[in-house]
């Protein structure tokens, strides 16, 4: 299991469009990928899960990956979150 803290820079946080991009990226990996925010955890492969966290701009979230390609999955998902802009 690997994890990485990431700052959300997107003006709208992780809402509909950015969350959809995130789900697509996470779904391309075999590993389980989740995000933790405000004590809540959600599977990044689930759009409803990501949206239910209510992540806002400026928030710091933790990306957690576990499985075959966990290193790459964690790095790629974290990089996408950092570069997302509306």
What CATH number is associated with residue 32?
3.30.1340.10
The count of domains in the chain is 1
| pLDDT above 70 coverage of the chain, percent | 99
Structural domain that includes position 44: 2-83
Q: State the catalytic residues.
A: 15
Q: Is the pLDDT of residue 16 over 80?
A: yes
Cα–Cα dist 75/42, whole Å = 17
- Looking at residue 57, the DSSP 8-state letter turns out to be T
Contacts of residue 24, defined as CB under 8 A and 6 or more positions apart, other chains included, come to none
| Owner of token pair 């400026």 | 58
Q: Once rounded to an integer, what is the mean pLDDT over residues 47-69? A: 96
CB of 52 closer than 8 Å to CB of 15? no
Cα–Cα dist 68/20, whole Å = 23
Give pTM, 2 decimals. Answer: 0.94
């Amino acid at each position: 299991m690997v994890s990485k803290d990431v700052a959300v820079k997107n003006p709208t946080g992780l809402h509909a469009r950015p969350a959809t991009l995130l789900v697509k990226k996470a779904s391309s990996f075999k590993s389980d990928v989740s995000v933790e925010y405000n004590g809540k955890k959600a599977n990044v492969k689930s759009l409803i899960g990501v949206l239910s966290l209510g992540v806002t701009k400026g928030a710091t979230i933790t990306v957690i990956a576990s499985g075959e390609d966990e290193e790459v999955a964690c790095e790629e998902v974290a990089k996408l979150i950092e570069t997302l802009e509306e």
